[in-house]
Structure 1
Amino acid sequence: MPQPLATKPVSLKDLWESRPAVPTAATFDAAIFESLPPPAQRYLSWAIAPDTPLASAVRLQMHGTIKLGNQWHRFSGEEVIRWQRGMVWRATTWMQGLPILGADRLVDGGGEMRWKLLGLLPIVQASGEDVARSEAGRAQGEAVWLPSVLCQPEITWTALNDVQVQADFTAFGEPAHLTLTLDDRGAIQQVALPRWGNPEGGDYHYGTFGVVAEASGTFEGYTIPTRIRAGWFFGSDRFEREGEFFRCTIDRARYR
């Protein structure tokens, strides 16, 4: 059961500086994964350079646009993912020239969204089990920004065909079924997964969430999607019409 966040939420900086749950000094060696299905081997070899230390956290700087209602608004943001502990995404967007500041959090099982106009007037405040489960799905999908966690022995890989592979695992208290669509090199083209949410505004339920990767870049030995489009109803016409709500470019990634 997700736990409520503390009165003072864990900050992005605090999460970044916290110690990993299981410290490791391992580095990436593709030979260890020779028993995996070929698409999984191609992906990991594309995503992680030989001898790269296997990180448990990533810190991302990004910019892009986010859809609020029927309007797209620019944003700039920063995110930390600390695997199995949580994530914090802090951003600023603008509506009619006025800044909206806030954060989405999933830390130690508690999830929340807090957004304020001018940093003072509440616009969105939500928390509870449904929010935590939805944020868990988001963090699971964002494992492709922290590819080292997909090297863990508890990941089960299944080749669906020559260009698609599914990673099954549990993270942040929720089962994950991540389907990666790859090119011939192993580069990510798309990511899809069942995610808990309420994109139609009613009761929460599992829906298909997905990402289109339009560019990639390499940071500290990790190659990750750096320009993406994301949203609900992935794989259907509704994704383009109404499901897509997030477009971003990764400007920098740091690992530890």
Structure 2
Amino acid sequence: MTKSISLDTLWESATPTELVFSPDKLSHLPEPAKRYLEHAIAPGTKLATAVRLKMHGEIKLKKWIPFTAEQVICWERGLIWSATAWMNGLPIVGSDRLIDGVGAMQWKLLGLFPVMTASGSDITRSAFGRLQAESTWLPSVFCGDEVSWKTMDSSHLHSSFVVQNESAELDLTIDRSGQLKTIHLSRWGNPEGAESHYVDFGGILEEEGTFCGYTIPTRLRAGWYFGTNRFESEGEFFRATIDDVIYR
């Protein structure tokens, strides 16, 4: 069972570090990886272990509905995405979370009447994939020695790293300046409504912004079947704009 901790508790539990970003320490990396990290993190920026974001957007639940949300990613422990969505003018309040290796989601109409509650191994495995994808909001995690990089060409990167003791893989596409344009991974899920399995998942990153020395995606579209014709018609279910970001 996932731990019922708050956004504030997760945020405060992050262990700050005194390490700072130095481009000189990237000399062993492939050029595209260096380009991405040098674009994403300003020299001298403290290497954060957590990020807190405020956002708004639309999520597709049969039809597109608006939401506002606040999220904390604490790399040591996991994430909480706390949101309010409006369906037919009524608020649905809840959260998706992955805390200390256990995933869960809980949503209530008017904050009172349960409309969706889920947990278990499939939810946890899917939540690991979400944390994997959203690591791009915390680029400092790609500076560790445990991260390995492969490059297909000057704009396509493949990173291998560890998320909560789980092996993770993430494909990134960047432009000439190092700006992140797309992400792609195999994520556990059941978008067809049948048995869960690994499905292509990814996002198109349309705008970026700089906060506290970090340059990250600030407008994006994400969903299943990424890289196929089904993404636009069936798979896309999340559109978000980032409004504010702080690091710890």
What is the TM-score when the length of structure 2 is the normalising length?
Answer: 0.98
- Could you say what secondary structure the match of 1:78 adopts? strand
- 1:84 pairs, out of 76, 88, 94, with 76
Q: Which runs of 4+ in 1 moved over 4 A?
A: none
Q: Matched residues in 1 for 2:17 and 2:105: separation?
A: 32
- Could you say what secondary structure the match of 2:195 adopts? coil
Residue 134 (structure 2) aligns with: 142
Residue 106 (structure 1) aligns with: 98
Preserved contact between residue 209 and residue 234 of structure 1 (Cα < 8 Å): yes
- The structural deviation recorded for 1:172 is 2.5
Preserved contact between residue 101 and residue 119 of structure 1 (Cα < 8 Å): yes
Preserved contact between residue 86 and residue 107 of structure 1 (Cα < 8 Å): yes
Residue 25 (structure 1) aligns with: 18
Q: Cα deviations across residues 14-34 of structure 1 (Å, max 9, x unaligned)? A: 1001132xx521100011011
- The structural deviation recorded for 1:47 is 0.1
What amino acid does structure 1 have at the position aligned with 2:14? R
Residue 46 (structure 2) aligns with: 53
Q: Cα deviations across residues 190-212 of structure 1 (Å, max 9, x unaligned)? A: 00011111111111111111010
What is the TM-score when the length of structure 1 is the normalising length?
Answer: 0.95
| Greater alpha carbon shift after TM alignment, 230-239 vs 202-211 | 202-211
Instruction: Write the mapping of 1:66-215 to structure 2, written as runs, cut at 5 A.
Output: 66-69=59-62, 71-215=63-207
Question: How many residues in Structure 1 have an aligned counterpart in Structure 2?
Answer: 248
Residue 5 (structure 1) aligns with: 2
| Greater alpha carbon shift after TM alignment, 157-166 vs 219-228 | 157-166
- The structural deviation recorded for 1:11 is 1.0
Q: Matched residues in 2 for 1:19 and 1:143: separation?
A: 15
Q: Matched residues in 2 for 1:45 and 1:200: separation?
A: 39
- Could you say what secondary structure the match of 1:202 adopts? coil
Residue 220 (structure 2) aligns with: 228
Q: Matched residues in 1 for 2:22 and 2:172: separation?
A: 21
Q: Matched residues in 1 for 2:105 and 2:164: separation?
A: 17
- Identical columns (%): 54
- Could you say what secondary structure the match of 1:142 adopts? helix
Preserved contact between residue 209 and residue 215 of structure 2 (Cα < 8 Å): yes
- Could you say what secondary structure the match of 1:247 adopts? strand
